[in-house]
Structure formats: C-alpha cells, structure tokens
C-alpha cells in the first residue's frame, strides 16, 4: 500500500515529517510552482516590476474549467488561483529539499527513507 501526503508542503521539514510518518510520496504543487521551469505564463507587475507566475491547484475552479469542462454541481472548488513571485531555477529548491531530508535522516541515524520512517517517533506537544 502507498500513502500519498497531500497538504501544502512549504518547507523541506514538511517532507521529512511526511516521510517520517511513512508516506510513499509527497505532493509538492505550490513548493515547485513559480520556478523558471514551472509551467505558467510569466507575468510582470507594471507598477512594481515584480515577476510572478500564475499557479492553481488541480482541484481549483480554473483547472476544472480548463480540463474537465467546468466545475460539476456535485463538486466543490478546493483551490484558488494565485500569483507566485518568480523563484528562479528549480535546482536550488531541489537541493534544499534533498539537504533537508538528508539532515533529518542523520537526526535519527537512518540510511534510507524506509529506514527513516521506521526510526521516527512523533511526540504530541
């Protein structure tokens, strides 16, 4: 059985927690959005000069209209459309994620992700 963590990962530590809770996959939509390599049109704010990219989740009204012929009456739009400041190349974010997971593994003396999950203990504070 596979577990997919879906819930707004923002920091590398969010991925470490998901993998520590035995997730097989972690969804990274907004974390990967806004990079040079990410899809979306580059938008320049004429007043500030800031560069952004439009981002919307696949459960948003916009995605339903674009890919599913509209939002069905029995569904609710779960996402919104936002403009994310341009983050530059994706490589730095990937290296941050990789470093964060590697660092978390050292905290529990794990040599792999399955080993990491088996060694994590969550404590309610």
pLDDT the model gives residue 81: 85
Confidence at residue 66, expressed as pLDDT on a 0 to 100 scale: 80
Looking at the fold, whether 118 and 81 belong to one and the same domain comes out as no
Q: pLDDT for 22-50, tens place per residue?
A: 999 999 988 999 999 998 889 999 999 99
Read off the pTM.
0.79
* C-alpha closest to that of 45 among 53, 55, 34, 36: 53
Instruction: Identify the three-state secondary structure at position 42.
Output: strand
Whole-number pLDDT of residue 119: 95
Query: How wide is the angle at C-alpha 32 spanned by C-alphas 41 and 54, nearest 5°?
Result: 25
22 and 6 together in one domain: yes
Q: CB under 8 Å to 90, separation ≥6 — which residues? A: 32, 35, 36, 37, 38
Model pLDDT, residue 69: 83
Under-70 pLDDT residues of the chain: none
53 and 70 co-located in one domain: yes
**Which pLDDT does position 37 carry in this prediction?**
95
Domain count for the chain: 2
End-to-end CA distance of the chain: 29
Say whether both 46 and 70 belong to one domain. Answer: yes
Cα–Cα distance for residue pair 75/28, rounded to 1 Å: 23
- Domain range for 60: 37-86
CB 23, CB 2: distance < 8 Å? no
């Amino acid at each position: 059985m596979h577990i997919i963590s879906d819930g707004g990962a923002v920091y590398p530590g969010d991925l470490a927690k998901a993998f520590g809770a035995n997730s097989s996959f972690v969804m990274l939509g907004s974390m990967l959005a806004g990079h040079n390599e990410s899809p979306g049109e580059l938008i320049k704010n004429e007043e500030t000069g800031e560069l952004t990219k439009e981002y919307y989740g696949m459960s948003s009204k916009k995605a339903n209209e674009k890919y599913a012929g509209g939002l069905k009456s029995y569904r609710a739009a779960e996402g919104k459309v936002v403009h994310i400041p341009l983050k530059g190349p994706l490589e730095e974010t990937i290296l941050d994620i990789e470093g964060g997971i590697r660092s978390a593994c050292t905290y529990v003396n794990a040599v792999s992700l399955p080993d990491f999950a088996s060694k994590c203990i969550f404590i309610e504070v």
